[in-house]
Amino acid sequence: MKSKKQKSKKILREISKQIVIISLPILIISSLLLGSIYRYEIKRSTSNLIGNLSGKTDVFEDTVQYLFEETFRDIYIIKNSNEFQNYVKNQNFENKLEVQHLFERYMLNKEDYLQVRFINPKGDEVIRVERETDSGIIVNIADDELQSKKKALLFWKYNEYRGIGYICFKS
């Protein structure tokens, strides 16, 4: 009986060895293959995310570029308008009213603009027209309410007329 038990244990060990010999390489190859597939999927997902993000930043960049181009076109149109040119040459009350009306018309057509200001080289507001946030009504600001913008952050200054005006961010 012992010999039968020993024989069956020997056969069981042999079968176990054969299973380990066959299954171990399969397990190693499978894990390597799954690891490669996992790394490939991570790279592919990363590339897709970067591509999507890049596309979105391109859209954002194009939008910002368009807004700045449109703003600068508006600035040049205002700067080269007859009303503004007349005011630069002769800064009297009538010409100032014409520029205010020009600013009002611009703000009626450009609903994104909250304010349009003309600031002299000393940094003082000369003309300001703004849109009320609640009602959207466009208002000319009285001379006694105009502000000094000497310390405001400026993003564009034209000096065709030796620095006559600035366009600035709302401070």
Query: So what's the pLDDT on residue 96?
Result: 93
Residue 170 has pLDDT above 70, yes or no: no
pLDDT at 132 over 80: yes
What distance in Å separates the CA atoms of residue 85 and residue 76, rounded to the nearest whole number? Answer: 12
69 Cβ partners below 8 Å, 6+ apart?
Answer: none
Looking at the chain, the whole-number percentage of residues with pLDDT higher than 90 is 22
For residue 88, give the nearest of 18, 153, 80, 111 by alpha carbon: 80
Q: What is the DSSP letter of 148?
A: B
Quick one: 88 and 152 in the same domain? yes
Residues 34 and 102 grouped into a single domain: no
Q: Are 164 and 88 members of one domain?
A: yes
- Please tell me the total count of domains within the chain: 2
Q: Which of 63, 90, 106 is the last residue of a domain?
A: 63
Question: Do 53 and 90 fall into the same domain?
Answer: no
Q: What is the pLDDT of residue 20?
A: 82
Q: Residue 159 above 50 pLDDT?
A: no
Split at pLDDT 50, 70, 90, the class of 156 is very low
Say if residue 29 is in the same domain as residue 94. no
Span 82-105, average pLDDT:
92
On whether both 112 and 163 belong to a single domain, the answer is yes
Structural domain containing residue 7:
1-63
Tell me the pLDDT tens digit for each residue of 30-69.
889 998 999 999 999 988 888 888 777 888 888 888 888 8
Mean pLDDT, the chain, whole residue set? 81
Domain membership flag for residue 161: yes
Please give the C-alpha separations between residue 140 and each of 67, 144, 152, in angstroms, as whole numbers: 25, 12, 21
CATH number for position 143: 3.30.450.20
- Say if residue 44 is in the same domain as residue 104: no
**Within the chain, what is the greatest distance between any pair of CA atoms?**
127
Instruction: Identify any residues that bridge with 131 across adjacent strands, giving them in sequence order.
Output: 138
Long-range CB contacts (within 8 A, 24+) of 90-96:
96/126, 96/127
Give the mean pLDDT of 125-151.
86
**What strands lie across the sheet with 125-131, from one edge to the other?**
138-140, 125-131, 115-119, 165-168, 154-158
Quick one: pLDDT band at residue 163, thresholds 50, 70, 90? very low
Same domain, 47 and 121: no
For residue 167, pLDDT beyond 80: no
| Higher per-residue pLDDT: 156 or 86 | 86
Contact 104, 140 (CB under 8 A): yes
Residue 157 confidence (pLDDT): 45
Q: Are strands 138-140 and 125-131 parallel, antiparallel or unpaired?
A: antiparallel
**What is the identity of the amino acid at 66?**
Y
Distance separating alpha carbons of residues 99 and 127, to the nearest angstrom: 8
pTM for this model (two decimals): 0.58
